[in-house]
Amino acid sequence: MTQLTVSILLSESFSNIVLACLLEPLRVVRDNRGADIRWTILTASDAPVTSSSGIRVAPDRSLQGMSAADLTLIVGGDEFRAEAVQKPLSRHLYPLLRSGVVIGADTGSWLMAALGLLDGRRATIHWQLHDEFAESFLATVVEPDRFVQDGRFWTCGSAATALDLILEFITSRYGAVAAQEAAAMFLQDSASAQLSGSGARGLRIHGSEQLRMLITRMADTLETPLSLAELAAFANMSERSLARLFKQELGVSPGRHYQALRLARARDLSTHTRLSVEEIALRCGFSSASGLRRAFRQQYGQPVRRRTQRQGDQSNPS
């Protein structure tokens, strides 16, 4: 799996929740799949910036001399109008943005437009700024959509749309299953809800209505998995049609996706509860602890570890 480099440009008074919605799903892909994802925090002023909720963040390095990353995240803040006219900032940003996917979130779209990156392109921004944005950048086609992808320049306006947009990126880079795993980990309810089996209902699912219905059914039956024939009957389709639906929309078989959901829950339970591997296996639809261990290692490349081992001696994995 090739390395993914990510540059994250934060503006003064940036939104913590927008940053989290962009970064945490990437962190989940890195942790769950062993993907080599590395990010660098940058600021428009090369100095620490304070978020809208008062959290101070220092940059990892200066903008000057930075080369283009595979993915650049521009998280705008309240000072976007002033930052957009800073010539030194523009000069240092051009090399950073000359290649790779560039995502402008919240007011980040404004800075992209000020640099001319959105001339002749479609874009969006936070809904409160739509009219002003359109009037200020006549060469940009401002859309009311939740997010807009135009070539390698992607834009969105809010935290919820930032999450949707980064899941689109994860799908394009790592596949639909990785995006579903990231969405599940990011949006599940608390561990106590997962223990009762209700946590899976917090899952945000992308795809057709039929696919969403089937994945929700899978998520609701992790402890007692249905057969493919039962899933097909639930959706009033043949097993062949079921397999075709998952292959077309997710690129994997329904059985593989079902197991990925069960393993994602097993990983979460092993991290956030004190259940034994045997108990986790039963809660995730595996007939034995050895079956879970084998599937877990194949999926994640590492053994199941209980929380007590992670907090103490890790030399004796289960």
The CATH number covering residue 233 comes to 1.10.10.60
What pLDDT is stored for residue 126 in this prediction? 87
What does the mean pLDDT of the chain come to?
85
Domain shared by 139 and 187, yes or no: no
Determine how many CB atoms are found less than 10 A away from the CB of residue 310. Answer: 12
Query: What is the domain count for the chain?
Result: 2
Greater pLDDT, 184 or 47 = 47
- Determine, yes or no, domain membership for 295: yes
- Determine, yes or no, domain membership for 124: yes
Most confident by average pLDDT, 85-94, 148-157, 213-222: 148-157
What pLDDT is stored for residue 144 in this prediction? 87
Lowest mean pLDDT among 17-21, 215-219, 265-269, 314-318: 314-318
Q: Does residue 102 carry a pLDDT above 90?
A: yes
Split at pLDDT 50, 70, 90, the class of 316 is very low
> What's the CA gap between 23 and 26, in Å, rounded?
5
Give phi and psi for 122, each to the nearest 5.
Answer: -90, 145
16-61 per-position pLDDT tens digit = 999 999 999 999 899 878 899 999 999 988 899 999 999 999 999 9
Lowest mean pLDDT among 11-15, 64-68, 287-291, 296-300: 64-68
- Determine, yes or no, domain membership for 140: yes
How many helical (H) and strand (E) elements, i.e. helices and strands, does the chain have? Answer: 15, 10
What pLDDT is stored for residue 87 in this prediction? 66
Domain shared by 106 and 22, yes or no: yes
Domain that holds residue 27: 4-170
Domain shared by 215 and 305, yes or no: yes
- CATH code of the domain in which 46 resides: 3.40.50.880
Split at pLDDT 50, 70, 90, the class of 248 is confident
Domain shared by 233 and 165, yes or no: no
Q: Does residue 154 carry a pLDDT above 70?
A: yes
Split at pLDDT 50, 70, 90, the class of 13 is very high
Domain shared by 78 and 160, yes or no: yes
**Which of 170, 195, 217 is the last residue before a domain boundary?**
170
- Determine, yes or no, domain membership for 255: yes
The CA-based angle 219-296-224, given to 5 degrees, is 35
The CA-based angle 181-186-188, given to 5 degrees, is 90
**Which of 112, 140, 170 is the last residue before a domain boundary?**
170
Split at pLDDT 50, 70, 90, the class of 146 is confident
Cβ atoms of 161 and 147 closer than 8 Å = yes
Structure tokens at 82: 């002033």
β-strand partners of 67: none
- Determine, yes or no, domain membership for 318: no
CA atoms within 13 A on the CB side of 18: 28
Lowest mean pLDDT among 60-64, 228-232, 292-296: 60-64
Domain shared by 204 and 241, yes or no: yes
- Determine, yes or no, domain membership for 45: yes
Structure tokens at 164: 């949707």
Domain shared by 199 and 255, yes or no: yes
Which helix or strand (DSSP H or E) is residue 232 part of?
helix 228-234
How far does the chain reach from its first CA to its final CA, in angstroms?
Answer: 27
pTM over 0.85: no
Domain shared by 78 and 114, yes or no: yes
**Which of 145, 170, 195 is the last residue before a domain boundary?**
170
Greater pLDDT, 275 or 192 = 275
> What's the CA gap between 268 and 274, in Å, rounded?
11
Domain shared by 277 and 200, yes or no: yes
Domain shared by 33 and 144, yes or no: yes
Residues in Cβ contact with 298 at an 8 Å cutoff, skipping those fewer than 6 apart: none
Domain shared by 225 and 253, yes or no: yes
Q: Check the CA dihedral 172-98-5-62 and report its sign.
A: negative
- Determine, yes or no, domain membership for 275: yes
- Determine, yes or no, domain membership for 316: no
- Helices in 139-208 by DSSP H: which ranges? 159-174, 176-187, 191-195
Which helix or strand (DSSP H or E) is residue 6 part of?
strand 4-10
What pLDDT is stored for residue 311 in this prediction? 38
> What's the CA gap between 293 and 237, in Å, rounded?
33
Q: What percent of the chain has pLDDT over 70?
A: 87
Domain shared by 28 and 114, yes or no: yes
Determine how many CB atoms are found less than 10 A away from the CB of residue 82. Answer: 12
Cβ atoms of 141 and 123 closer than 8 Å = yes
Lowest mean pLDDT among 67-81, 193-207, 270-284: 193-207
DSSP state of 304: -
Q: What average pLDDT does the segment 250-271 reach?
A: 88
Split at pLDDT 50, 70, 90, the class of 187 is low
